[in-house]
Structure 1
């Protein structure tokens, strides 16, 4: 929303807003990776995006980029839960923010390296919701639906009069978005909720690890309200077109491998128009 709005959706957008206000982005930099290595901003505990053990998909993407640039990989760890992202300018800056929502204009960004959306989750064995693929479906009336407060699907639920029975999941200070996602998925699996709304990378990752099979339905058919589909880029330092071009070139030349990494973490991938990219399509 990790990937950053974030879920990176709105959450990562708010994080970037906070850093711009807090740090002011003052400084200068060159077009080479700092200190002869690729310095990447990443959260040490925010699966499936990243963690300190290098198990997230953003860790794997950072490793791929460092390999293609023939350089060492170093991390600048930060917690998204604090609302801060390290500076991309100055002597101690990092070179990349791995997940950054396209078009915020707050720092520079690369071309999108994937598109994804918010998703609707419900149990595969629930015949009352079978085939539901949009929030305007009347079968969602009076259903108990989990949502993350202040995200785009919450606004769409309100437009369709579905908030009376909805359960908001707040992301509190010091907690990652992943905890709220895991809690929501557990309640859907247990039957405490009929359905849930999550940012695609998080929803797909935790749903596929549920002991109770869940449907993961990308919200790509919404005709009103805020967008549910976002292009995710990498944040780069501004006023450094050579560095941005270099990263864009790595993305373009390795898009197939990037897609395979994302799909291995159950990230729902799509093109900018919302058409799903099938598993393994990157190889064709």
Structure 2
């Protein structure tokens, strides 16, 4: 699982009415102080981090990059590959080797965030029809004697600690190079199916994707009803350099005008989208 981060910023009315082919003329090397390539969408990405990105172009952020390239009139897409670990932003976006991180959680000062295109929760996963049927929160007493999987140092870990679930918990590594090892979400699902753990708490886009890929018969419960501890819901944005104001506004326009198409991409990957009232988005 990757460390969570933040967003917010508004659109400009002028860019909102421009067609995609014109966006590129207003946000590129010609924009004062900006180093954004006007012809190539230069993406900073992890080479082996499904469901987000991979070198084969099979992640949903790869698909989002294709949409952004099309809508901004870019002729092609290029990738700067670097594992999503400490130093990712410094060695990619901040080094001017690329111009956009396709998925970045709202609020980190290392990047400038666009408006959010995705709002999703952490999820609780367990076998359907078993003793945990109906559990919707980490605080549920049914979990008291269960072994629950959680990724090290992620927000649910603190909630599990408050619920006294950490003594029996199975901890999965936070930082892992997925070029050489499985995603923690994939490992969690295998452990639930084998009985190694009873349940797992994981970032929703990862849990939803791998459960779908592995055809796992699991309940995937959005953690939208937690009453204490860390928040379980995050907005995901695109990340750009703080100096690239025009580029940010261009991307905000693309997001606003293409949200239904973005939702379709995400839902096809099993991402559990929710709206501002925490209701599931299904289309």
* TM-score, shorter chain, exceeding 0.5: yes
1:60 counterpart residue number:
63
CA deviations 1:162-208 (Å, max 9, x no partner) are 11211111145534795222111101011221100111111111112
1:47-126 maps to which residues of 2 (within 5 A)?
Answer: 47-71=50-74, 72-81=76-85, 83-85=87-89, 86-89=91-94, 92-126=96-130
| Residues matched between the structures, number | 256
Deviation at 1:89, TM superposition (A): 4.6
2:163 and 2:94 mapped to 1: Cα distance?
Answer: 44
Q: 1:173 to 1:56 in 2, by over 3 A?
A: closer
TM-score, L = length of structure 2: 0.84
Q: 1:175 to 1:53 in 2, by over 3 A?
A: closer
Q: Is the 8 A contact 1:231 1:272 kept in 2?
A: no
1:185 counterpart residue number:
189
2:27 counterpart residue number:
none
Deviation at 1:33, TM superposition (A): 3.4
User: Helix, strand or coil for the counterpart of 1:256?
Assistant: helix
> Is 1:34 aligned to residue 45 of structure 2?
no
Aligned counterpart in structure 2 of residue 164 of structure 1, from 162, 167, 179: 167
Higher relative CO (CA 8 A, sep ≥ 6), structure 1 or 2?
Answer: 2
CA deviations 1:84-105 (Å, max 9, x no partner) are 2334356x43111111110122
Q: Is the 8 A contact 1:129 1:140 kept in 2?
A: yes
Aligned-residue Cα RMSD (Å) equals 2.2
Q: Is the 8 A contact 1:39 1:75 kept in 2?
A: yes
Deviation at 1:43, TM superposition (A): 0.9
Deviation at 1:272, TM superposition (A): 3.2
Gaps of 5+ in 2: 6-30
* Range moving further from structure 2, 128-137 or 169-178: 169-178
TM-score, L = length of structure 1: 0.84
